[in-house]
Structure 1
Amino acid sequence: MTKPVLLFDLYGVLLQLQTPAQLRRIEQTLGVGDELWPVYWQHRAAFDAGELTPADYWATVARDLGVDPHSYDVDAVIAADLDSWLDADETMVAYVSNLVNDGYKVGLLSNIPQFLADKVAETHEFLQTFHAVLFSCDLGLAKPDLKIYQVAAAALGEKPEAITFFDDTIDNVAAARKAGMNAVRFTGIACVQRIVDAAAESSND
């Protein structure tokens, strides 16, 4: 059986997205409401690419929101943000870990800032079993830059067309396809199972 090479996004795939309660905690710690989120995401790409430290990122966000820099505890805001990004999707993690154990070549490609990448790697030991783990902060690149998919393919030792990439963000999926990968918008574990099962059935024909 020729096993497909699998490349996964992290958030919304293997780890959970932020919950409403976690979002409210960040807002309250900074002393703002939901006006935070457009600004939070506006500067996140630079943060994920390693261009901003956590303190610089939050200073930029606070400035754009007109928040007095002396009115909040930056360490507490950083901690609230960090804690909101650590919860695993245990069902997906177990499934993908079984694929690794069964001999599948598996990689990770995530847009993530350095402080969070370090904590994720420390917290989630299953990543140590992956054949390649690529964080945007280490590469100075972020999805959907086409170059990052080329780097990921090289790290896996495969041509892009041999890789199936799963991401919950459509822009990242579209870019991966342009880079030559078979890319699938992740909507749940079933979309991964279909790819794996189809490959198994094809090899048995």
Structure 2
Amino acid sequence: MTVLFDLFGVVACHQSEEGGDRLVRVAGAPAPAFWEAYWARRPSYDRADVSASEYWRRVGEDLGLRFDDHRISALVEADIASWDAVDDTMVALVGELAASGRRIGLLSNIPEELALYYEEHHSWLRDFHVRAFSCRIGHVKPEPEAYRWCQEALGVEPERVLFVDDRRENVRGAQETGMRAHLFTTAARLREEFARWDADAST
């Protein structure tokens, strides 16, 4: 079994409420309108179709605001900080799998600035044999090409890959490309899935 992990919501935590509040303050916009623009524009930023400056300028335009370079730098910094927390239990599990010789990969919808931050500050990323960041592979989940890119990079048939994500649409996307998939809730339940997989493989 090769395991392909999502990052946020599985190994790392979702965007923090405190961090999100800080972003809204930096933007100087009403929260509902800010989040609508933030998420509507996010896929193109995660895919690197636009730069950080272009992304934030377009978010500002949607809000009827003009973000200058200084404001954009502050928004990028606040955005990165809002995604920085990790799940230590899952980080330990990743390390355990890597130490056992299990081949593991990472597939994340993530912009370049955040990817660089994680590479510089989270050494456990080196445990992954393949790191598929959307900003570098040009595809975002649940696009089929994102999963196929990982399958080819991992060098295994899709049915030998267990994809782990906390979002149903991403789990379905993996299944549609032939991967086995697990909707993540807890580390304990994920371990149970590993045990089922190993039991199936031994029969």
Give the TM-score category using the shorter length: over 0.9
Structure 2 counterparts to residues 23-62 of structure 1, below 5 A: 23-35=20-32, 36-62=34-60
**Deviation string for 1:24-53 (max 9, x for gaps)?**
000001111312111101010000000111
Unaligned runs of 5+ in 2: none
Distance 1:203 1:49 in 2: 36
Which AA in structure 2 matches 1:101?
A
Shift of 1:164: 0.4
Letter in 1 for 2:113: F
CA distance in 2, matches of 1:5, 1:132: 11
- More displaced, 177-186 or 194-203? 194-203
- Is 1:19 aligned to 2:16, yes or no? yes
Q: Does 1:6 align with 2:3?
A: yes
Structure 1: segments with no counterpart, 5+ residues: none
For residue 14 of structure 1, give the secondary structure of its aligned residue in structure 2: coil
Q: Which residue of 1 aligns with 2:167?
A: 169
Task: Find the partner of 2:182 among 181, 184, 187.
Answer: 184
Cα 1:34–1:157 shift into 2, 3 Å = same
What is the Cα deviation at residue 71 of structure 1? 10
Cα distance change on mapping 1:101 and 1:145 into 2, 3 Å = same
Please, what is the CA RMSD of the aligned residues? 1.7
- Count residues in correspondence: 202
Q: Which amino acid aligns with 1:32?
A: A
> What CA distance in whole angstroms lies between the structure 2 residues aligned with 1:195 and 1:120?
27
Q: How does 1:107-122 map to 2 (within 5 A)?
A: 107-122=105-120
In the aligned structure 1, how far is the partner of 2:92 from the partner of 2:69?
A: 43
* Deviation of 1:60 (Å): 0.4
Give the superposition deviation at 1:87. 1.2
TM-score, normalization by structure 2: 0.94
CA distance in 2, matches of 1:202, 1:172: 24
> Which is richer in helix?
2
For 1:144, the aligned partner's letter is P
Instruction: Give aligned-pair identity as a percent.
Output: 35
Alignment-mate amino acid for residue 27 of structure 1: V
